[in-house]
Structure 1
């Protein structure tokens, strides 16, 4: 019986400067994209075993410059885009010497994504797509469901992306104090729900947000890079600007 190949992996706390903060992602390094032992069911099972908001898989693509196939899995499903796991993947490649370059390209379900290592500040810059938000004529039953899911919080605007719903509340404090009903969010016509509000006058931030995706095994995501692809689009139209300083709230114990 042939010995099974081992999988090298690292767990990285993305969007953080120290351990046990930010948003953890498991980064798994694969050698062969055609390994029959590692089909989609196997990848999903490993993601369920890690039980993190995202487990991602990196497979090198032979070429003239560093390029990798990148796939992201929650504990229950594969997703099209994930910011923090992409950041974690880039960190692993740049910090461990696996590539001899300050730029790497990822081939993903959302197209080609680029990460650059800015050596002066030792930071990583991600080039991510804009996720447009648009109007949807929700029926009264949908709006009632959203209100119930957010425990009666005052809703001032609702937009949608192809997969998620963006709900704007009346204030920064309303987002922070929100006690969502996860069972009701699971019933909403979306994969995930972004809840956001503009910052108070005089704040160093522009807006805050929280992100819930219980149907995908993520009750609340600590820091969601992909959600900000849509949040930035929404707030750019509202604030008439393109550069933002955003804050994602995490309140793990405020559920009903």
Structure 2
């Protein structure tokens, strides 16, 4: 059996930045076990599998597809960068003729529309709720050490904990943090948290005018640090929109690879997440 595979860097327009995802467009569904083995082999934060819903559709003519995402260790309910990369494969490499594609996923229908050089994703918004920092003392200590923080919020349905560094911190504090994934994972075993978002206010006065910065860690899902995380921005977008009083924001995830996301919090309780993607590899998995 031969399976086509593409690796794309998402939320960037240059190779080796952004977040790499492996994308496999499949003519037929495979077993979950095989999806997991392929994802472990690719060893990226996510590998996505696109399958046709209507057997008479092709990847060029179809407008609705099924999409699933796997980390090296498990399936996940929502992944932004691999959704962006999946749409880019269909639009760029399969010359899909539709202006908008809809993916049926564990998080419901996700639409992606081409816009210029990039893509706009219609995603659910996941508003977090304010928490007592003392309840998460161990996990905060493992993530930020002794640096001052000013907010702790939890998105219970995504199990993402948002920790905001104090405004007195320079951006170098966020980029310089050395987070030990083993210590982070062992600091939280209740199951309430499966990912930690570290964030801080941006510098909108300096070009290109980022409203906020972030980093994301999910060792519970086999991802020590994710380079650029669309799903985390369904939480961040809600949080910062309220704090800044803005619907449209420009965000930068300052991992070592780095990536840029355009956000628009909508009145219907969803969020548009926009970005670009570049193909760095095309090949065949032979089984």
**Normalization by structure 2: what TM-score?**
0.79
Question: How far apart are 1:251 and its partner, in Å?
Answer: 3.6
Q: Superposition pairs for residues 96-245 of structure 1, below 5 Å?
A: 96-118=93-115, 121-137=116-132, 140=134, 142-162=136-156, 163-170=159-166, 171=169, 172-187=171-186, 188=188, 189-200=192-203, 202-203=205-206, 204-245=209-250
Name stretches of at least 5 consecutive residues in structure 2 with no aligned partner: 258-287
Deviations 1:150-170 (A, max 9, x none): 222222110011211000011
The 10-residue stretch of structure 1 (187-196 or 47-56) with the greater mean CA deviation from structure 2: 187-196
> Secondary structure of the equivalent of 1:75?
coil
The question of whether the paired residues in 1 share the 8 Å contact of 2:211 and 2:251 is answered with yes
Q: How many residues align?
A: 241
The 8 Å contact of residues 147 and 154 in structure 1, kept in 2 or not, is answered as no
Q: Which has the higher strand share?
A: 2
CA offsets per residue over residues 147-192 of structure 1, 9 Å max, x none? 2332222221100112110000113332122222322221324111
Deviation beyond 4 Å, 4+ runs, structure 1:
none
Bigger CA drift: 13-22 or 66-75? 13-22
The alignment partner of 2:129 has SS state of: coil
What is the CA-CA distance between 1:55 and the residue it aligns to?
0.2
What residue in structure 1 maps to residue 31 of structure 2?
A: 39
In structure 1, runs of 5+ residues without a counterpart are none
| TM-score where L is the length of structure 1 | 0.88
What do you get for the CA RMSD once the two structures are aligned? 1.8
Q: Equivalents in 1 of 2:181, 2:94: separation in Å?
A: 41
State the SS of the aligned residue for 2:173: helix
Structure 1 SS opposite 2:232 = helix
Tell me which residue corresponds to 2:255: 250
SS of the residue 1:58 aligns to? strand
Cα distance in 1, alignment partners of residues 21 and 10 from structure 2: 7
Spell out, residue by residue over 1:29-86, the C-alpha distance to the aligned partner (whole angstroms, 9 max, x if none).
11122xxxx2111111110000001100000111795111000011011111111100
Following TM superposition, by how much is the alpha carbon of 1:146 offset from its aligned partner in structure 2, in angstroms? 1.5
Alpha-carbon offset, residue 225 of structure 1: 0.9
Separation in 1, partners of 2:43, 2:126: 27
Q: 1:99 Cα shift? A: 2.3
